[in-house]
Structure 1
Amino acid sequence: MSTILITGAAGGVGTLMRPRLARDGRVLRLLDLAPLDPAAGHGEEAIQASITDMDAMVSACEGVDAVIHLGGLSTEHSWEQILDANINGTYTVFEAARRAGVPKVVFASSNHVVGFHTPDEYPLPEAVVPLPDTYYGVSKVAGEALGALYAKRYGLNVISIRILSCFAAPRDLRMLSTWLAPDDGAQLLEACLAQEKPGYRVVYGVSDNTRGGWVSLDSARALGYEPLGDAEAYAAAMIAEKGEPELDDPVFAYLGGAFTFANLDADNL
C-alpha cells in the first residue's frame, strides 16, 4: 500500500488529477483549506489544513511515499499574498517532507518561471535562464530553487513540472498550443512517481499539440512521458467561434501570454 499526499487537492488541477491517480493499493491523502468536491471517497483521506502550517504539514507527511505539491495561489496576487501562500507555503512543504522522511516531492511549477522568453527562442529548453513574468512566476522560481536545495543538501528527490495550461479542454486560442490534457498530466505525474531516485529535475508539462513546440519535452520524455492528447481536436470548433489565431496578438508575444500584460504591474494589483 502506497500513500501519496496531494496538496491543493481541491483546486482545478487537483480535482482533475484525483480520479486519474486513483489506483488499487494506493491511498491519496488530499490536503486543502477548501472543502473537496466531491468529498473524499474510497482510497482517499481528506485533511483540511494550510500548506503554511508546519505542524499540520509534518503530520500530513507521516507515512507518505511521495508528495505532489499543487497547493498555493495559481494566478497573480499582491506580493504579500504570494509570499505567504506560494513561497512560505512551498518552503513548508519541502521542510515538512524532509522532517517526515518523505523520499520524493513533485512540485507543480509553471511556464511563468520563463514567461518573458519570446517565440524566437522556442522550443525553450529546461535549462533556460528564468525570466518570470509576475510575482506568481517569481514564486515558482523560488519553489524550483527550494527543490534544488532540498535535493542537493538533503537528498530529497524533486521533480519540478512547469505546467503550461491544464484544463479539461482548451479555453482559448492560445491553449491550442499550451494545453496539457488531464490524462497527459496524470501520465506525467505517474512517470515522476515511478522514478525511484531521480535526484533533481525540471520538466515541462504540456501535451504534444499540433500547434505547440513552444517548450522542450526532452526531459519529460526521458522520464517515460509520451503525451497522447492534442488540442487540435478542439481547433475547428474554437476557430469557428473565435476566428483564426492572430500571431501578432500580444498574447503570443511571450511564453507567459497575458501574465506579461501591464494590468498585472504592481501598481495595478
Structure 2
Amino acid sequence: MKILLTGAAGSIGRVLIPGLTDRGHQVVALDRVPVPDGFDGVWHTVDCADPDAVAAALDEQPLDAVVHLAGHPGEASLPESLTSHVVTTAALLDAMVEQQIPRIVYASSNHAVGRTPRVESLGEDLGVLTRPRPDTFYGVGKVAAEALLSLYVDRHGLDAVSCRIGSFLPEPETVRHLSTWLSHDDCVRMVEASLTTTAPGYAVLYGISANTRAWWDLAAGRALGYEPRDNAEEFATRVPDRPQDEAEAAFVGGPFAGEAFYRPALDRASV
C-alpha cells in the first residue's frame, strides 16, 4: 500500500516509517517540520490545519490510505485542541473524499475515555462501547475527531479505524504503564492491521500491548486482525513503586484526570 503518514516527525511516526516500510508498504511523510537529515523518501512540509495545503499534498501522488498521527500531544485550550485534532482531521477527510482515498487510520487516545473511574471497570476490561468520557480538552479533541470520522464513513463510505493509544514508550516506566503500555513493535502491528483489515467501516480499537494488567479489552482489535505480542509484565521488576501510583490508578486516564489539568476552556486576556 502507498500510505500518507501525517505527524511523521513525531515519536510514533519515527517508528512507523521504518516499521511499515519493512512490511512492504510505501510511506509518504507529512509534517509541519522540514524533512530531517537522512530521510530519502517523499516528505511534505505541511500544516494539517491548512486545508488547501493538505489537498495539494494529497494531490501530488496516488494514495491507498492515510495514517493520521499529527496533533499536539499534550493539553491546550479548547480552541487549540479542536484545531489540532478536529480541524486537521477534517482537512484530511475532505481531501480524501476529493482524491477518492478509501481508508484512514487515526491516532486517537485512551484519554477519550480517561475520566472513567477505574473502580467501575474492576473485573471487566473497558470495551470500545464505553461511553466517551474525556479527561481533558485533549481528550475532547480526540472524541470529536472520532465523531467526525464516523460522519465521513456514513456520508462517503470511507473506512476509518480509530486507535485509542495507551502509553507509547520503549518500555513501561510507571505502575500505570504496566496496564497501558503499547510497545513499538505492537504499534506497527496495530497500524498495519488497521490498514489491511477487510471493510471495517467505522471501527475503534484500544492501542495497547497484550499486558497482563490491561485495563482495556483487546477483543475489538483482535477482530480487526491486531494480535499484540508484547507484555508490559516483562518489565515489572524494573518499575519502581511511587507515592502517586494509587492516584494514577483512580481513573483510566491516569494523571490527565487529575486537578493539575483543570483549566478554563478558553484563554481570556486579563482585564
Aligned to 2:182: 180
- Among residues 152, 155, 159, which one is paired with 2:154 in the alignment? 152
- Residue 231 (structure 1) aligned with residue 228 (structure 2): no
Aligned to 2:103: 104
Structure 2 counterparts to residues 67-146 of structure 1, below 5 A: 67-119=66-118, 120-121=120-121, 122-146=124-148
Q: What is the CA deviation profile of residues 172-208 of structure 1, one whole-angstrom value per residue up to 9, with x for unaligned ones?
A: 2211110001111100111111124211111111001
Q: Secondary structure at the match of 2:204?
A: strand
Aligned to 2:43: 46
The CA deviation at 1:137 is: 0.3
Distance change (3 Å), C-alpha of 1:39 and 1:49: farther
Q: Matches of 2:104 and 2:86 in 1, distance apart?
A: 16
Aligned to 1:64: 63
The CA deviation at 1:61 is: 2.3
Q: Matches of 2:177 and 2:22 in 1, distance apart?
A: 30
Q: Matches of 1:227 and 1:55 in 2, distance apart?
A: 38
Check conservation: 2:86, 2:145, Cα contact below 8 A. yes
Aligned to 1:243: 241
Distance change (3 Å), C-alpha of 1:227 and 1:38: farther
RMSD: 1.9
Check conservation: 2:197, 2:225, Cα contact below 8 A. no
The CA deviation at 1:147 is: 0.7
Check conservation: 1:61, 1:102, Cα contact below 8 A. no
The gaps in structure 1 that reach 5 residues or longer are none
Q: Matches of 1:115 and 1:26 in 2, distance apart?
A: 33
The gaps in structure 2 that reach 5 residues or longer are none
Check conservation: 2:86, 2:148, Cα contact below 8 A. no
Check conservation: 1:13, 1:167, Cα contact below 8 A. no
Q: Secondary structure at the match of 1:204?
A: strand
Check conservation: 1:9, 1:36, Cα contact below 8 A. no
Amino acid at match of 2:44: I
Q: Secondary structure at the match of 2:178?
A: helix
- Among residues 199, 205, 208, which one is paired with 1:206 in the alignment? 208
TM-score, normalising length from structure 2? 0.90
Percentage of matched positions with identical amino acids:
38
Amino acid at match of 2:255: A
- Residue 167 (structure 1) aligned with residue 169 (structure 2): yes
TM-score, normalising length from structure 1? 0.91
Q: Secondary structure at the match of 1:129?
A: coil
Distance change (3 Å), C-alpha of 1:24 and 1:161: closer
Q: Secondary structure at the match of 2:57?
A: helix
Aligned to 1:221: 222
Q: What is the CA deviation profile of residues 24-73 of structure 1, one whole-angstrom value per residue up to 9, with x for unaligned ones?
A: 753211100124545422xx311110001112212222311000000011
Q: Matches of 1:170 and 1:38 in 2, distance apart?
A: 29
The CA deviation at 1:144 is: 0.6
Aligned to 2:192: 190
Distance change (3 Å), C-alpha of 1:244 and 1:78: closer
How many residues align structurally? 261
Please identify, of 168-177 and 224-233, the stretch whose mean Cα deviation from structure 2 is larger.
168-177
Aligned to 1:5: 4
